[in-house]
């Protein structure tokens, strides 16, 4: 009797084993399924819908009218579209090269110099990055006001005339670029500082033993070894500059005379006009442009040993 009981129990165990293994194999997929469902609902579906929308004329209500490549043709022949890209390109030239140089200089200073309260400096550099942009923009409006701003008041003290920082086409883009630099340069310093700290100290010790000066170490070791961090920073900031919306929207409203209407603000104008098909086409053209610029920057800043 005991032998039969033992055989029955072993048979039940053997029969249950495949079900247990099957459940074990399915468990990881069940755990990650919610993420993929949310990603499909809020990531893939909106992307596919926007791509389909870019080939139609739709104002948010009623049936969409299929226009094919009409929205793309309209944008590629629109002076306003190219003007917005030109404004963003100028902003890129005013921001990204300066930020790379300033960020690398700040990172080297924090990494090598024997500064007291070094942690406090790091927090101070990063504080503008986490400060709400609208609050910073309001400060910028007050400080650079043509009639009552602090900057023009200081210029008057030394006998210089007022400058229309936010009301002249010559100074509006540099003033916005300065706001962007002030807010995000701390982020650049942190990224490049992380890249510097990943470099082994033995590399610099070997270079010093070989007689390399500090300047030689900087150009021959520091710059090449942080190229990946620089490439990452260029890609992220290129995306941020061509998406720039809040700064011109709050500070200049795209003026004067459209001189600060960036690509991101021009895209917003289509949304407010309920021209959703053209806005979707505009967004995909920006994606292609930023992808091309980012790919070029990555190839340019790629370490020499990775160049095929």
Task: Tell me what pLDDT residue 79 has.
Answer: 93
**183-187, 191-195, 272-276, 280-284: which has the minimum mean pLDDT?**
272-276
Q: What is the pLDDT of residue 165?
A: 92
Contact 163, 206 (CB under 8 A): no
CA–CA gap between residue 306 and residue 288 (Å, rounded): 25
DSSP per-residue string spanning 275-300: -HHHHHHHHHHHHHHHHHHHHHHHHH
Say if CB 177 and CB 156 are below 8 A apart: no
Question: What pLDDT, on a 0 to 100 scale, did the predictor assign at position 16?
Answer: 46
State whether residue 163 is helix, strand or coil: coil
- The structure's pTM equals 0.81
User: Which whole number is the average pLDDT over 122-144?
Assistant: 85
Q: Is the pLDDT of residue 3 over 90?
A: no
CA angle 92, 98, 102 (to 5 degrees): 145
Nearest-10 Cα torsion for 120, 123, 128, 131: -120
* 250, two tokens: 């709050």
Q: Please provide residue 169's backbone torsions phi and psi, each rounded to the nearest 5 degrees.
A: -65, -25
Which secondary structure element, helix H or strand E, spans residue 3, and what is its range?
A: helix 2-39
- Give first-to-last CA distance, the chain, whole Å: 75
Could you tell me the fold of the domain covering 78-306?
Answer: MetI-like fold (1.10.3720)
């Amino acid at each position: 009797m005991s032998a039969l009981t033992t055989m029955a129990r072993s048979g039940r165990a053997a029969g249950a084993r495949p079900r247990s293994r099957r459940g074990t194999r399915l468990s990881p997929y069940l755990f990650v399924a919610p993420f993929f469902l949310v990603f499909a609902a809020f990531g893939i579906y909106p992307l596919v819908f926007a791509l389909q929308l870019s080939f139609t004329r739709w104002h948010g209500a009623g049936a969409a009218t299929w226009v094919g490549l009409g929205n793309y043709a309209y944008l590629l022949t629109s002076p306003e579209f190219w003007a917005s890209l030109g404004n963003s390109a100028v902003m890129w030239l005013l921001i990204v090269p300066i930020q790379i140089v300033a960020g690398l200089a700040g990172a080297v200073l924090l990494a090598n110099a024997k500064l007291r309260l070094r942690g406090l400096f790091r927090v101070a550099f990063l504080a503008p990055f986490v400060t709400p942009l609208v609050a910073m923009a309001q400060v910028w409006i007050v400080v650079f006001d043509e009639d009552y701003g602090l900057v023009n008041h200081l210029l008057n003290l030394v006998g210089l005339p007022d400058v229309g920082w936010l009301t002249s086409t010559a100074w509006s883009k540099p003033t916005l670029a300065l706001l962007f630099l002030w807010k995000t340069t701390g982020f650049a310093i942190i990224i490049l500082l992380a890249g510097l700290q990943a470099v082994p100290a033995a590399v610099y010790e070997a270079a010093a033993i070989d007689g390399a000066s500090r300047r030689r170490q900087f150009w021959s070791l520091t710059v090449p070894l942080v190229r990946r961090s620089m490439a990452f920073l260029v890609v992220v900031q290129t995306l941020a500059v061509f998406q720039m919306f809040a700064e011109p929207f709050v500070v200049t409203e795209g003026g004067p005379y459209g001189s600060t209407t960036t690509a991101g603000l021009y895209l917003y104008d289509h949304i407010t006009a309920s021209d959703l098909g053209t806005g979707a086409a505009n967004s995909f053209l920006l994606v292609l442009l930023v992808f091309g610029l980012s790919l070029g920057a990555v190839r340019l800043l790629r370490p020499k040993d990775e160049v095929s």
